[in-house]
Amino acid sequence: MKLVQDLSEMTALAASWRGQGLKIALVPTMGWFHAGHLALMRQVRQSADRVVVSLFVNPIQFGPGEDLAAYPRDLQRDMDLAAGEDIDVLYAPSAPDMYPAGFQTTIRVAELGLGLCGASRPGHFDGVCTVVMKLFHQTQPHLAVFGEKDFQQLAVIRRMVRDLDLSIDIVAHPIVRETNGLAMSSRNSYLQEDEKERALCLYRAIIFAQEKVKNAIQPLSAAELCAELEEHIHQIPGFVVDYVEIVDADSLKRCETVTVNSRLILAVKVNERVRLIDNARLYEL
């Protein structure tokens, strides 16, 4: 595995691979790798000649008062973990290289980025789209993989790729969970042990909703089910609901009733300092 930190070096390397007819895969990350990240790397390793894992804590997707400064960082730790997954390049550019003085261009996916996380984190997806587009240009991938835990992000990136006619295959990887069901996230490292146990309210809400849908005789009201789930979460000490929504998996628009294409998407704040998200289908395929 090669560590590349210089933007021009990465661009030249990607161009060389392209010139040789090699298939390139990109795994965009902000580092602090866990088993979920490693699963993404393994997935694309099977279908690409060269795998690039980008590691960049993107400042423009963090809002005022969010955890940019506190976000966990350990380059050596991440290098050791990535090296065990047979990747070719760990690309870790600097913020001044990514956003030099005078930088003022952003990319916005209008509708898909407005609700859900976009409502409580204004500008977040503009920052995500901008950095992902830059990474696409720098690494020239044929395919890129994103985890389904950030389901809205996945939808936004797919829309950007379609709208801007990019010849990149966007691959989704299912949510990777701890053995107890908690969705893996770098932000889980912020949680105390008792908070991790209480954070299972998200996964339990998903299981409760799936069972209710499975046993329903007639289509369920999405709003009523969401209200019931919110009530359960509100009973957990220190947990505040950001949103609980049931949306169409393609458009991300609210569903009136639960259908086979519905997705339950949840976000909570833990003791006003840690934001956790999760989601799942409600009908079994």
Q: Which of 34, 37, 124, 173 is catalytic?
A: 37
SS3 144: strand
| Chain CA centroid to CA 98, Å | 20
Domain at 186-279: CATH code: 3.30.1300.10
* 2-173 and 186-279: identical CATH topology: no
Active-site residue flag, 37:
yes
* Residue 156 to residue 137: CA distance in whole angstroms: 18
Region of 21 on the Ramachandran plot (φ > 0 left; ψ -120 to 50 alpha; else beta): left
Give the pTM: 0.95
pLDDT in tens, 64-90: 989 999 999 999 999 999 999 999 999
Q: What is the pLDDT of residues 157-176, one digit of tens each?
A: 999 999 999 999 999 999 99
Every domain of the chain and the residues it spans: 2-173, 186-279
Angle at 64 between CA 227 and CA 150, to 5 degrees: 50
Assign domain 2-173 to a CATH class.
alpha beta
Neighbour-count burial of 113, counting CB atoms closer than 10 A to its CB (0-12 exposed, 13-18 middle, 19+ buried):
buried
Strands 143-147 and 24-29: parallel
- Over residues 170-192, mean pLDDT: 95
What the block records as the tokens of 257 is 């009733």
Beta-bridge partner residues of 239? 270
